[in-house]
Amino acid sequence: MRYALDCKDDFASNLLFWIERFIYGKINSLSNHQVKNKDEILKVLSRFRNGFDSMESLQCACKECRNIGLIGINTYILPLSKLYEYLIQIGLESLKDIDEELLKEFLTIHTSALSDATKKNYRMALINFFSFVDKQNEDMLGTSYNFRIELKNWGGLRGKSGQKLPSFMNEEEVHRFLNGIESYPFKHQELGARNRLILKIIIYTGIRVGEALNLKLKDIMQDGEFFMIQVRGKGNKPRVVMVKAKNIAQDLALWRNVRENMVVNDDMLFCNHKGTKLTQAYISRIVEQVLIANGIRKEKNGAHMLRHSFATLLYQKSQDLVLVQEALGHASLDTSRIYMHFDKQKLKDTTEIMES
């Protein structure tokens, strides 16, 4: 069904309407292989069909989608919610007042401190959104208003030379972090084993936070002195990682004992006290708390930093880029090359070239 461009009474309501229509369409196109509870997704989709009275309620619905398992929704809702706030402040009267120069201004102001990858996500979210509106709006005469947003000449991207290197811990900091996990006073002591187990699995194997949270009970199996962990990566591609049993066996046994006395909705390895899936934001908060408690300061304190730390140490000790690619589940070797920048020995070798 098509709608008039300015089908509501005011600019804010019109913009919110089109954003919710766009997000609703994106939700139905996202991969659903991680969705386990169809009743939950039906409830959220029903809310989208009924519409929202504020951007805050739309954002909450998108958060629910992510928690249910529709990963990728933040790529669209974060840029568009920022755009909504920006355009409301300007005080436009009609969606027709939006043009490419105004969107470039928005990108310049709101993405200045972001990485190139995030800037590209913002740009593509805007292009996709306005392309959607182009195709879906129609007035009483059957004609459509076309924004034709391309943003081809926006100069906000720095290019490869300006990309930031990821934050990571050096070997001494990693050991300090691991010791800190053991002594950290988690709020709910009965869940402390779970929290320690999650953080250890991530930092000892380098798997993504989402991959850790999607592990099933059957995915972790002991093989002598090691645990083998079956991981489902991006695109649902399987791979196997290993961790020494001595590093996680105690916490795994303690957590399994706690979990047996809980009502869990699925066979997921990790869950909250209600028996439902944990969020990546929760894991990142734990990581940040442990880092601060142990005097470790990084530009980015999220859980993904643990993966970077593992990969950096793996390359430094192995000098094997293919091993890094396989361990991290990178589709391309080029993605793994970033960790070559942390090879101190090779950097030290460059200081010798002028020596006689």
pLDDT tens track for 5-54: 998 889 999 999 999 999 999 888 876 666 667 788 788 888 888 889 99
pLDDT above 90 (res 335)? no
pLDDT above 60 (res 247)? yes
pLDDT above 70 (res 245)? yes
Annotation says 307 is catalytic: yes
In terms of domains, do 193 and 341 share one?
yes
Backbone angles phi, psi at 271, to 5 degrees: -155, 165
Indicate which residue of 123, 304, 308, 315 is catalytic: 304
pLDDT above 50 (res 264)? yes
Check if the beta carbon of residue 137 is closer than 8 Å to that of residue 17. no
Give the DSSP letter string of 288-308: HHHHHHTT---S--STHHHHH
Which of the listed residues 126, 161, 196 is the one where a domain comes to its end? 161
65-122: pLDDT as tens digits: 888 877 788 899 999 999 999 999 888 889 999 998 889 889 988 888 888 888 999 9
Tell me the average pLDDT across 327-347: 74
107 within some domain: yes
Tell me how far apart the alpha carbons of residues 85 and 82 are, in angstroms, rounded to a whole number: 5
Annotation says 330 is catalytic: yes
In terms of domains, do 153 and 185 share one?
no
What distances in angstroms separate CA 21 from CA 24, 127, 241, one per listed residue? 5, 15, 41
Annotation says 175 is catalytic: no
Annotation says 346 is catalytic: no
Q: What is the chain's mean pLDDT, rounded?
A: 86
Check if the beta carbon of residue 231 is closer than 8 Å to that of residue 219. yes
Higher pLDDT, 194 or 116: 194
Annotation says 341 is catalytic: no
Please choose, from the candidates 106, 78, 64, 105, the residue with its C-alpha nearest in 3D space to the C-alpha of residue 19.
78
Question: Which of the four pLDDT bands, split at 50, 70 and 90, describes residue 198?
Answer: very high
In terms of domains, do 115 and 143 share one?
yes
Tell me how far apart the alpha carbons of residues 89 and 117 are, in angstroms, rounded to a whole number: 27
Question: Which of the four pLDDT bands, split at 50, 70 and 90, describes residue 59?
Answer: very high
Domain containing 188 equals: 171-348
pLDDT above 90 (res 281)? no
What is the token pair recorded at 97? Answer: 């007042």
In terms of domains, do 111 and 254 share one?
no
Annotation says 208 is catalytic: yes
Length of the chain, in residues: 356
Work out the percent of the chain whose per-residue pLDDT is above 90. Answer: 45
Tell me the average pLDDT across 181-198: 90
* Helix (H) or strand (E) segment spanning residue 56: helix 55-68
In terms of domains, do 315 and 277 share one?
yes
CB hemisphere CA count around 76 (13 angstroms): 26
Which pTM value belongs to this model?
0.59
In terms of domains, do 262 and 130 share one?
no
pLDDT at 353: 64
Which of the listed residues 161, 186, 208 is the one where a domain comes to its end? 161
Tell me the average pLDDT across 318-327: 86
Tell me how far apart the alpha carbons of residues 154 and 123 are, in angstroms, rounded to a whole number: 9
Q: Which residues pair with 239 in a beta bridge?
A: 231
pLDDT at 160: 45
Question: Which of the four pLDDT bands, split at 50, 70 and 90, describes residue 162?
Answer: very low
Any idea what the CATH number is for the domain that residue 221 is in? 1.10.443.10
Indicate which residue of 234, 300, 317, 346 is catalytic: 234
pLDDT at 306: 92
In terms of domains, do 124 and 175 share one?
no
Check if the beta carbon of residue 324 is closer than 8 Å to that of residue 311. yes
pLDDT at 114: 85
DSSP 3-state of 226: strand
Greatest C-alpha distance within the chain: 82
166 within some domain: no
Number of domains in the chain: 2
What is the token pair recorded at 214? Answer: 């999607």
In terms of domains, do 187 and 125 share one?
no
226 within some domain: yes
Q: Which residues pair with 3 in a beta bridge?
A: 137
Question: Which of the four pLDDT bands, split at 50, 70 and 90, describes residue 324?
Answer: confident
Check if the beta carbon of residue 170 is closer than 8 Å to that of residue 302. no
